[in-house]
């Protein structure tokens, strides 16, 4: 069996899937890997026209795709202290009526931002513009937008652009819910059948545990696809986004996903989830 999978070239994904992608997980299906940013994979999952069997997507897109795809209980990214940031050129900016750049409107980062803004920007933000995440910090620095919502390694590099962190979406989420932050999910087509879905989950879990057991083995794969990222930043990235929730969502992980999507549905940002939508397999 060979399955088509798409995930990002970010260090957390290449670290997690290295052993599996290179045939080192005993009994796991062989993988045909495509690298794509998460906004692209979100679109593929939502359109239903893509032929990938397994995709890394934002948790925010789940309400639109769970009829077709099942959420795997492992392999994704949740955590604490790893939320998206709102950056500005000057400290303490009031975002009322301001233009904010975001990496996607189908992202967990966007949902967290809208939930935060609903509580802390009473007048409401102005225009929201979507742009590739690597363009956001330069756009804020150059005054093309008033603020930017950033993700990934931008947490570690925004000071290089002379920017200020106006707010940490993760801190707000954790302070108001006590739950980890749900970021990226691994989903697979339900049409593969329950036995294959279970095998996929077992394979993903084994792959991440192998990466933890021998981090040096994944190093070449991680750095090959890290887009000229400083190796120390890649290590920080992995340390932040690959954790116990990557091996198993568990009670708190599932509670975080339900909490995010329930709150977002109450704000009219996503469709409501069915009672068994997150059940696996």
Residue positions annotated with a catalytic role: 152
The answer to whether the beta carbons of residues 101 and 145 sit under 8 Å apart is: yes
DSSP string, the chain: -EEEEEE-SSHHHHHHHHHHHTT-STTPPEEEEEE--HHHHHHHHHHS----SEEEEEGGGHHHHTTTEEEPSSSSEEESS---EEEESSTT---BT--EEES-SSSHHHHHHHHHHHHH-TT-B--EEE--HHHHHHHHHTTSSSEEEE-TTHHHHGGGGT-EEEEEHHHHHHHHH-SPEEEEEEEEEGGG-HHHHHHHHHHHHHHHHHHHH-HHHHHHHHHHTSTT--HHHHHHHHHHH-SHHHH--HHHHHHHHHHHHHHHHHTTSSPPPPTTTT---
Four-residue CA torsion sign, 193, 196, 199, 201: negative
For helices 250-266 and 169-177, the axis angle rounded to 10 degrees is 100
């Amino acid at each position: 069996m060979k399955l088509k999978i798409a995930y990002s070239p970010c260090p957390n994904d290449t670290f997690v899937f290295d052993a599996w992608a290179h045939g080192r997980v005993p009994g796991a299906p062989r993988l045909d890997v495509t690298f794509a940013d998460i906004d692209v994979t979100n679109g593929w999952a939502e359109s239903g026209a893509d032929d990938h069997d397994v995709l890394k997507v934002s948790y925010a897109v789940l309400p639109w795709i769970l009829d077709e795809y099942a959420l795997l209980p492992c392999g994704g990214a949740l955590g604490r202290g790893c939320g998206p940031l709102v950056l500005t050129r000057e400290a303490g900016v009031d975002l009322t009526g301001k233009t904010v750049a975001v990496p996607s409107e189908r992202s967990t980062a966007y949902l967290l931002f809208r939930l935060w803004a609903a509580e802390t920007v009473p007048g409401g933000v102005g225009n929201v513009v979507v742009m590739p995440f690597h363009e956001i910090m330069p756009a804020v620095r150059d005054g093309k937008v008033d603020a930017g919502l950033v993700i990934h390694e931008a947490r570690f590099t925004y000071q290089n652009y002379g920017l200020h962190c106006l707010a940490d979406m993760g801190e707000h989420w954790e302070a108001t819910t006590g739950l980890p932050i749900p970021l990226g999910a691994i989903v697979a087509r339900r049409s593969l059948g329950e036995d294959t879905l279970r095998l996929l989950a077992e394979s993903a879990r084994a792959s991440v545990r192998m990466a933890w057991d021998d981090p040096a083995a994944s190093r070449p794969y991680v750095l090959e696809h890290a887009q000229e990222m400083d190796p120390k930043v890649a290590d920080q990235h992995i340390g932040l986004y690959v954790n116990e929730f990557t091996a198993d969502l568990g009670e708190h992980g599932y509670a975080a996903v339900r909490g995010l999507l329930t709150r977002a549905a109450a704000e009219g940002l996503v469709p409501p989830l069915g009672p068994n939508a997150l059940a696996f397999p």
